[in-house]
Structure 1
Amino acid sequence: MFVAHLFIFVLCLGTVLNENSGCGCSLNRDSTLDPKANYLLSTANSKCHRPEQEQNDKTMVLVPSGVYQVGTDDIVIETDQEGPRTLVKISSFYIDKYEVSNRDFSNFIKSTNYETEAERFGDSFVFTLFLNNTYKEMLKDFRVAQATWWYKVKGANWKHPYGSDSNLEDLMDHPVIHVSWNDAQAYCKWRDGRLPTEAEWEAACRGGLRDIKYPWGDKLFPNHTHKANIWQGTFPNYNSAKDGFIGTNPVNLFSQNDFGIHNMAGNVWEWTEDGWSKDKFAAKQTSQSIVMSSLGILKHTSDGLGSR
């Protein structure tokens, strides 16, 4: 429970539909080595169906089947454990072109009366820059031990992102935050979809490109332009906001990758359907570990289930 409670502060969702199986119940999850090829086969394990018009939703894009690179051999931070570079064969699927916005999530809540885990817990974690010094002094004993820039704030949840006295005014087009993996599952069920697997997520992120540092190429600021909302300054106390934002940005802002998907780097952490391990596809994911990747993606492994 502590792990789930701890990491519900800055997470957003993306739903995915398989091209052939419709609603996306088939997961590109179970990978085996093809003895005739230098890649892993990511195979589907179930199928279901969905009306054709939903597959052609204008808010979703097709990621074609193919062999995609996941991971890298160019390790920057060893503890991120982003290697080794692996090739994975993935079946085609549809994925949201935008992160799930507060407006999207609000429609889900209105339709289902769902209560998020942060609402049930009564608190969640808020980043230091969104709290004044007086409040932080009051909460200094309620911080994450190894990440003291996160403060446990009563009343913080998706509707009140910085505490009970905050609201979503001017944030309806920003990604929903303070949602757990279970909350993400509930939303996807309502959408008749599912979260992408980690392999699918990375394939979608790279936009069909290989051996690149970012979804748009190798330069962080090509032609001196900002391609994503990322931290710039001295972490965690100063963010220059040269990209225009100290916090989140609208889900349709910044240019999309070659698949037409926005914000695959920066902005917020994103959940995936399946778990994660250092050996990626070779190991059975059954540990209770948390790892943050170089792209800022939270990866929580718990009995084969994890984060995007």
Structure 2
Amino acid sequence: MVTIPAGEFLMGSEDAFAYPGDGEGPVRAVTLPSFRMSARAVSNAEFRRFADATGYRTSAERYGWSFVFAGLLPDDFPPTRGVAAAPWWRQVEGADWRHPEGPQSTVDERGGHPVVHVDWQDARAYCAWAGKRLPTEAEWERAARGGEQGRVFPWGDELEPGGEHRMNVWQGEFPRYNSEADGWYGTCPVDAFEPNGFGLYNMTGNIWEWCADRFRPGPGGRHVTKGGSYLCHSSYCRRYRVAARQGLTPDSTTGNLGFRCVLD
């Protein structure tokens, strides 16, 4: 855990990259007390310790399936139902946090990668076991900014300053071709790339992270997720920015959705 100092910051965005329909604006001043946040997203190894100690079964394990990015499936994988508005997501029987791409996959060699296929209740269950909680959206964004004010990314306004990759997102032509210029196709380890000014890793890219808050605007019953993921690309999803947000129903489970914890 790292300490995020008390203070005021500017939350939200109204710049050319923002999605007004997501409720990113208006930009407003928010003051928060000091709190502590996990420097890294919860990893497979950490979640395994929780599951082994408690016998906890995630929602995806109980449902018997979850959504997997089609590009991560073997070429001979049998056809399965896709998402109408996002056909690159496939419903895969047997996909869960232990088997991120289905029964033929394992996290045995990915202990340091973020746990995925966890819904909002799964994340809260882990936090409660660990004596922690999910961050509020304001806490998450304050921490992600790393002390910077009004910047697009945790390190500044350039996506790749000096040609250097600072996070794990899609390069190439989505969803057909990923050059893997940043070194990764799916998830990367939770401590990959340089940390931000507060010492936090992968606050943008890699995986979406659950927050405690309800999402507004739009239909109720959704919760905030922040940070974008390894599938974000400027051609269709610029949500790999600190101000960006997404609303998901609390029972959502996908191969790019995880969390980190905070302490008061």
* TM bin (shorter chain): 0.7 to 0.9
Runs of 4+ in 1 over 3 A off after TM superposition: 77-81, 288-293
Instruction: Give the corresponding residue for 2:11.
Output: 70
- Structure 1: runs of 5+ lacking an equivalent: 1-59, 279-284
* 1:11-90 → structure 2 map (5 Å cutoff): 60-76=1-17, 77-90=19-32
User: What does residue range 1-308 of structure 1 map to in structure 2 within 5 Å?
Assistant: 60-76=1-17, 77-135=19-77, 138-139=79-80, 142-278=81-217, 287-289=220-222, 294-295=239-240, 298-300=246-248
Identity %: 44
Aligned length: 236
Per-residue deviation, 1:163: 0.3
Q: Which has the higher contact order (CA 8 A, sep 6+)?
A: 2
* Structure-1-length-normalised TM-score: 0.72
Deviation at 1:124, TM superposition (A): 0.3
* Contact preservation (8 Å) 2:6, 2:35: yes
Counterpart contact for 2:214–2:222, Cα < 8 Å? no
* Partner SS, residue 273 of structure 1: strand
Task: Give unmatched runs, 5+ long, in structure 2.
Answer: 227-238, 251-257, 260-264
CA offset digits 1:173-221 (Å, max 9, x no partner): 0000000100001000001110000010000000111111100001111
Superposition RMSD on alpha carbons, in Å?
A: 2.1
For residues 259-279 of structure 1, the C-alpha deviation after alignment (integer angstroms, 9 at most, x for no partner) is 00000010000000111214x
2:210–2:223 contact (8 Å) kept in structure 1: no
CA distance in 2, matches of 1:193, 1:286: 29
Change over 3 Å in CA distance of 1:298–1:286 after alignment to 2:
closer
**Higher mean C-alpha deviation, range 92-101 or range 230-239:** 230-239
Residue 189 of structure 1: SS of its match in structure 2? helix
Quote the Cα distance in structure 1 between the aligned partners of 2:223 and 2:143. 22
Rg (Cα) greater in structure:
1
- SS of the residue corresponding to residue 2 of structure 2 reads strand
Please give the secondary structure, in 2, of the residue aligned with 1:68.
strand
Write the letter of the residue equivalent to 1:300. L
Counterpart secondary structure, 2:211: coil
SS at match of 1:241: coil
1:78 Cα offset (Å): 4.0
Preserved CA contact (<8 Å) 2:214 2:223 = no
